[in-house]
Amino acid sequence: MATPNKVKIVEVAPRDGLQNEKQFIPTEVKVELINRLSTAGFANIETTSFVSPKWVPQMADNAQVMAAIERRPGTIYSVLAPNMRGFDAALAAGADEVVIFGAASEAFSQANINCSIAESIARFEPVAEAVKAAGLRLRGSISCALGCPYQGDVEPAAVVEVARRYLELGCDEIDVADTIGVGTPRRVERVMKAVTEIVDPSRVAGHFHDTYGQSLANILASLQAGISIFHTSVAGLGGCPYAKGATGNVATEDVLYMLHGMGIKTGVDLDAVIDIGQWISGHLGRKSSSRAGNALAARKAA
């Protein structure tokens, strides 16, 4: 299959990138991060999550963040909501897109959202209905699509089954997530092919954590399977609190460098993202984990 010549990048650093940080990050810093990402041209930014602050304390300032950001016309500001309480808060905060998040593995579903896969789908039903009634976009995330920290292997059929339920719920977009970064290109190709047998490829996203350094190869495999939406995190920030040892999402700078080098358009200003990556890493007191980001920043400074 020919690779797409245009890709949508969903920048997830404000949510997936920061949710695992132990030290509470001031709301102003989160807001500045989102504002700078908006200016860099992202079409979709995952802004925060409306989950229990006992489970994920870093996202406790969700409503304040949403109220303070400057919205760029044309950018979709997405938030996670696991239940009706989360949806009500997301609606009040003016989210453009609500993300329901389930898993292809029973053990991870229990660890992350404290219920079985079937129970999660039942919990998502009223949320999906309310999202649609409010005229918002609905996205469904499938964790552990390439492996589970508790269960090990996950078969593509299990991923397809959750995707099928998400389609029934009316999801506009479906995320195939490698929560712990264990996937390799042939496996990714297999799962993407299986999912795109029931979901149009234009509505499927790849969400790769880079724990094993496989993400760029997995994105290339996904592109070859017709996928044109990828989730990335500036400076490679992130990790899931309920997936031990999981590191950040693939770094935005690395993905932009690869895609632009391949002549694939993203609409995102890589130069601006390099500065954002260096700035937020400095704020967190560590070196950016983006290889391209660090190399390009060094070149700029020379």
Give yes or no for residue 156 binding ligand HMG (CB under 6 A): no
Give yes or no for residue 141 binding ligand HMG (CB under 6 A): yes
Helices (H), 114-176: 117-133, 156-169
Q: Which does 289 bind (CB under 5 to 8 A by kind): ligand HMG, Mg ion, none?
A: none
Give yes or no for residue 105 binding ligand HMG (CB under 6 A): no
Q: Which does 141 bind (CB under 5 to 8 A by kind): ligand HMG, Mg ion, none?
A: ligand HMG
Judged by CB, which is closer to Mg ion: 130, or 255?
255
Stretch that binds Mg ion, among 13-21, 80-88, 187-195, 263-271 (CB under 5 A): 13-21
CA angle 182, 164, 114 (to 5 degrees): 60
Q: Which does 297 bind (CB under 5 to 8 A by kind): Mg ion, ligand HMG, none?
A: none
Largest CA distance in the chain: 56
Encoded one letter per residue, x for contact with ligand HMG by CB under 6 A and - for no contact, window 6-25 reads ----------x--x------
Amino acid at 75: T
Q: Which residue has the tokens 């009500």?
A: 88
Give yes or no for residue 82 binding ligand HMG (CB under 6 A): yes
Q: Which of 16, 46, 61, 253 binds Mg ion (CB under 5 A)?
A: 16
By DSSP bridging, strand 97-103 and strand 137-143 are parallel
Q: Report d(CA 116, CA 14) in Å as an integer.
A: 27
Q: Which of 240, 250, 268, 292 binds ligand HMG (CB under 6 A)?
A: 240
Distances in Å between the alpha carbon of 188 and those of 107, 159, 246? 21, 12, 18
Give yes or no for residue 244 binding ligand HMG (CB under 6 A): no
Q: Report d(CA 222, CA 204) in Å as an integer.
A: 10
Stretch that binds ligand HMG, among 35-43, 75-83, 125-133, 251-259 (CB under 6 A): 75-83
Min CB(152)–ligand HMG separation in Å: 16
Closest of 46, 82, 47 to residue 62, by C-alpha: 47
Give yes or no for residue 179 binding ligand HMG (CB under 6 A): yes
Amino acid at 166: Y
Judged by CB, which is closer to Mg ion: 87, or 108?
108
Q: Which of 4, 14, 17, 86 binds ligand HMG (CB under 6 A)?
A: 86
Judged by CB, which is closer to ligand HMG: 3, or 116?
116
Active site residue 240: yes
Give yes or no for residue 227 binding ligand HMG (CB under 6 A): no
Q: How far is residue 260 CA from its own chain's centroid?
A: 20
First to last CA, the chain: 41
Q: Which two tokens stand for residue 155?
A: 């078969």
Specify the DSSP class assigned to residue 173: E
CA angle 68, 73, 77 (to 5 degrees): 55
In the complex, the residues that contact ligand HMG under the rule CB under 6 A are: 16, 19, 49-52, 54-56, 80, 82-83, 85-86, 101, 112-114, 141, 143, 177, 179, 207, 209, 240-242
